[in-house]
Structure 1
Amino acid sequence: MKLVRFGAAGQEKPGVVDADGKIRDVSAIVPDFSGEHLSDASLDKLRKADLASLPVAPADSRLGPVVGRVGNFLCIGLNYVDHAHESNLPIPSEPIIFNKSPSSITGPNDKVYIPIGSEKTDWEVEIAVVIGKDAYNVSEESALNYVAGYTICNDVSERAWQIERGGQWTKGKSAPSFGPIGPWLVTRDEISDPQNLDMWLDVNGARVQTGNTSTMIFTIAHIVSYLSKFMKLEAGDVITTGTPPGVGMGMKPPRYLKAGDTVRLGIAGLGEQQQSVVATNG
């Protein structure tokens, strides 16, 4: 299934994309896609539902973030060999973990706001996973059973704040609008191999990132298992798993986002996002 949340910011309703591409309002079955409502049992109720009998969302509905009330927004850095090389950083021997603030999360086509004082706002196309049930100390072999589904994240990053302000990556990753996720949460049964998905990102119509999840240093299963050794992952947590090469920081000379730019990105089977870049006022 392709799960969506639609409607005005803060007032999103849960929906499922039907066979004709229409969004069906499933709020009569599940109140939201968050927490326990992402469990296998909850998703099975949706699979058995007669979608044709449910209301169709307005055609012009805004798409919101695919999951609500996110507790942890966890990230993996330098998880593609070529991206580590372009960043002039060593290949990690274990996953590099950092956080994005959940307050950075926005819809897939919402605007990206350049923060006041930002000099180096950058883009990163990534595959993200949403946890479907609590996971603590789980094996790599069973790890994907704890995943509700997969989605796209643009891990927008302010590089000066990330790298030049004392080494705390979270500072450069957490501004409002720095975490577009969506358009869909594609349930794990629909993605036979999350480690073989093409991914891309364009800035102003020019392709800057091209990659495939097969070139990850640490697989999604490894990441979920690894994180669960150190913390209990909870239903609704989001984990974004790193980006392939082609970020602005790695260009010669470096190139960063400015007001008026358009970013478009996609991953095979997971849809596309598009954001307009604007300056923050005040």
Structure 2
Amino acid sequence: MTNRFVNKVVVISGGTSGIGLATAKAFSAEGASVFITGRRKETLDAAVREIGGRITGIQGDMSRLADIDRLYDAVQQKHSSIDIVFANAGGGEFAPLGAISEDHYQKTFDTNVKGTLFTVQKALPLLRDGASIILTSSTTSISGTPAFSVYSATKAAIRSFARNWILDLKDRRIRVNAISPGVTETAGLNELFGGGDQAEGTKNYLAGQIPIGRIGKPEEIAKAVLFLASEDASFINGIELFVDGGHAQI
């Protein structure tokens, strides 16, 4: 383990489980001061204990602008600037065309698109020039999935944000990149797939479609996020980095 992020300030939305939690652990292990958000206090407190190091948990729902304001107020109480924002909070549920409700649409877009937009925009006054922003998109941004069109559309919007924001932020040399995980072993994925044997069967089926022969681990996605955030990626800007075992490339 290196100390690439000593004295760096990192904000991670949706940092209490899965990819967000693994990424928070990785940044903390490399010396960063990390702020994570989560909606449920008990889960947030457990994540803070698990991550260790210089970690602060802020309870909040990133689809609510007041909660985002509270996040950055908390950061500003401890630090004068932010080096890295990982806008990761998001989620989705299955709903086929013909059964999509207004609530399903609103909830998914508010969490994934509105939340990402304002998590980044409200960070700008604190982001230092030359900072790094990483957005969580998905392989669903470029490939079709039955009954998953609303979620997939939100992830395509997030990928588009990266392309456009690098132009808005070019004078400040702030890099914006999107990470697109494939099927990854998380509690959220198990819930999406129905849990238990049903989830295991679906994951085994999908593993057979992935060239590398298995689904991903949150820690593997975290390593890609840290790469994009680091000076090793100093000339990488506006990309969509697929971390999916090759699934989106076939």
- Give TM-score scaled by structure 2 length: 0.30
- Give TM-score scaled by structure 1 length: 0.28
Q: Kindly indicate which of the two structures has a greater share of residues assigned to helix.
A: 2
Q: Kindly indicate which of the two structures has a greater share of residues assigned to strand.
A: 1
